[in-house]
Amino acid sequence: MSLFDNIFKDIGVDLGTANTLVYLKHKGVVVDEPSVAAMNVKTNHILAVGDEAKKMLGRTPAHINVVRPLVNGVISDFEMTEEMLRHFLRRPQVSPMTSYRRALIAIPNHLTEVERKSVEDAALNAGCAKVYLVESPTAAALGAGLAIMEPAANLIVDIGGGTTDIAVISMGGTVVARTLKIAGDRFNEEIIRFAREEFHLAIGEPTAEYAKITVGSAIPLDERLEVPVRGRDMSTGLPREIGLKNNHVRMAIAKPLRTVIDSVHEVIEETPPELAGDILRQGITLCGGGALLRGLSDLIEKETGVSVRIADDPLTCVARGLGQMVDDFEGHRGLLDNPLKPLSINL
């Protein structure tokens, strides 16, 4: 490694709605923390970012604002995103003289030009010299070990926090794709709604997420799982605890899960016949945090008739795919999602 490479580092950033991962060239994933920031609105000072900020969700006084600056894969609070990125880029133990030369950032499919520009500007303002965008499904497929440069279909379903990306990739490009604003956060919202309507209990997002991870499933299970859930009784206004069973959580998230499966159907239906035959042979690959939901792979396999596998370490697939591109930038330049700009004509 040259002195030049020691001073000017390349990074890959999976800027997710739920978690942000940073891959440092030749080092691996050096940051894996929630995309949450806490700010004191009186002093306009950032109090915490990542894990520390997530602990504050729903537990702060009025003058401390805890925000998730990305919603459905899109930046909703530009300044907080910029500050969050700046903090994350300081985390790796690198020399004070080090600067970030290139940043590869994963984005959902079908972002508008304005949304893409906001991602680029946030990374530039956070300290990156040059920013390149990569479609999340492409990076996820690369990280999952799929042969995306071959003339064959690779169907990837990436269920993250804010979005679900479904894409058929062949020859390094996306053939058919869908991006849904239905993913882990929507599942949490449905669990909160279910607890309110069925048990008259108000619970927060962290509690709903804990219940989803602990007992959530996509299909009926042989074992009976139950988790204690605490919240505020909506009748008396007093604290109360209930036992939330796995079938309760399954009922709560059934509707958004059906939407995801229907979208997988639609993508397969729109796939050219030859590639559809490849999908039957090679199967569907699941990644993202949603892939860890019990029985989800079995449900999709039953509904589509196509074999389904869960990628190794599905939470870091996108970051590992970006890492391969960062480590061999020239070899993967063709995967970058930088659209052609119109030519300037001097009259």
pLDDT at 293 (0 to 100) = 93
Say yes or no: 169 and 310 in one domain: yes
302 within a domain of the structure (yes/no) = yes
Say yes or no: 74 and 219 in one domain: no
pLDDT at 7 (0 to 100) = 63
Give me 313's structure tokens.
């370490």
Say yes or no: 173 and 261 in one domain: yes
* Number of structural domains in the chain: 3
310 within a domain of the structure (yes/no) = yes
Structural domain containing residue 276 = 148-182+257-315
162 within a domain of the structure (yes/no) = yes
Closest CA to 103 of 179, 177, 21: 21
Say yes or no: 72 and 176 in one domain: no
Say yes or no: 18 and 107 in one domain: yes
What is d(CA 332, CA 319) in angstroms, rounded to the nearest whole number? 15
What is d(CA 82, CA 61) in angstroms, rounded to the nearest whole number? 24
pTM value is: 0.88
344 within a domain of the structure (yes/no) = no
Q: What is the CATH number of the domain that holds 219?
A: 3.90.640.10
pLDDT at 98 (0 to 100) = 60
pLDDT at 344 (0 to 100) = 41
pLDDT at 226 (0 to 100) = 92
pLDDT at 126 (0 to 100) = 86
Picking from 203, 230, 252, the residue at the C-terminal end of a domain is 252
Q: Which residues lie closer than 8 Å to 302 by C-beta, 6 or more apart?
A: none
Say yes or no: 131 and 46 in one domain: yes
pLDDT at 94 (0 to 100) = 54
Say yes or no: 163 and 297 in one domain: yes
In the beta sheet, which residues pair with residue 102? 10, 130
pLDDT at 340 (0 to 100) = 45
Angle subtended by helix axes 113-125 and 78-90, to nearest 10: 40
Say yes or no: 27 and 86 in one domain: yes
Q: What is the CATH number of the domain that holds 174?
A: 3.30.420.40
Mean per-residue pLDDT pooled into runs of 10, the chain (347 residues): 61 90 88 91 89 88 90 87 88 62 87 88 88 91 90 92 92 90 93 95 93 93 90 93 93 94 93 90 92 93 93 91 90 72 43
